[in-house]
Amino acid sequence: MPRLGMEPVRREALISAAIAEIGAVGSLDVTVARIAGRAGVSAALAHHYFGSKDRILIAAMRRILEDFRNAVNRRLKAASTPRQRIEAIVEASFEPAQFDSAIVSAWLAFYLEAYRSPQAARLLTIYARRLDSNLVHALRCLVAPSSVRITAQGLASLIDGLYIRAALQDRAPKREDAVQLVLDYLALRLNSESPS
């Protein structure tokens, strides 16, 4: 492979290695040398491609968010009703590639990074707004206008909370149970909106 063709391959390897390293350490307290070693390249090459550890971490965060967006979009294509749209979002949130222990640790680390880094904060704001927008769009057809926002917040809070539990506890719900907990909350909200 020509040398120019290796840059995208090495960048991807470094991003994947950063996610794996964060998952192994459980925080952003990782070094470029460890990330580079996991990727099979030199630390100098990692600096050449990204310029700093912070840029590698932001690239890793972008990758996780892009993978999540793709998972949601893939599932939304098969959803034909508002309730199926919400179920698609919930299932994408907890699909195996998203609810992997390294990804869960990375999410938690990125939430903490958002307090320090305006770039990380901006990326998490984009994630939160997209999640809210998708949920609100579907909920408008299912609940009273006065309940849309609070129901969307409840669903998003459950999703995020289950990620935190998965990162911090060994007794956190399994993937299937996490999906069911969120969908049970949805069913409760929808039942409370039904006329008696």
Q: Which stretch of DSSP H or E encloses residue 187?
A: helix 175-193
Q: Which domains does the chain have, with CATH numbers?
A: 3-193 (1.10.357.10)
Predicted pLDDT at 46: 93
Quick: pLDDT tens for 67-109.
999 999 999 999 999 999 999 999 999 999 888 888 888 888 8
Predicted pLDDT at 1: 47
> For residue 112, how many other CB atoms are within 10 A of its CB?
12
Q: Residue written as tokens 């996610």? A: 19
Question: Is this model's pTM higher than 0.75 or not?
Answer: yes
Q: Which stretch of DSSP H or E encloses residue 76?
A: helix 53-76
Predicted pLDDT at 4: 57
Gap between the Cα atoms of 180 and 21, Å rounded: 30
Rg (C-alpha) for the chain, rounded Å, is 19
Q: What is the DSSP letter of 174?
A: P
Q: Residue 188: what residue type?
A: L
Predicted pLDDT at 149: 96
Digit-by-digit pLDDT tens for the chain (196 residues) are 455 578 888 999 999 999 999 888 877 889 999 999 999 999 999 999 999 888 999 999 999 999 999 999 999 999 999 999 999 999 999 999 888 888 888 888 888 888 888 999 999 999 999 999 999 999 999 999 999 999 999 999 999 999 888 888 777 788 999 999 999 999 999 998 765 4
Q: Nearest-CA neighbor of 99 among 5, 179, 18?
A: 179
Predicted pLDDT at 67: 93
Gap between the Cα atoms of 38 and 33, Å rounded: 9
Predicted pLDDT at 173: 84
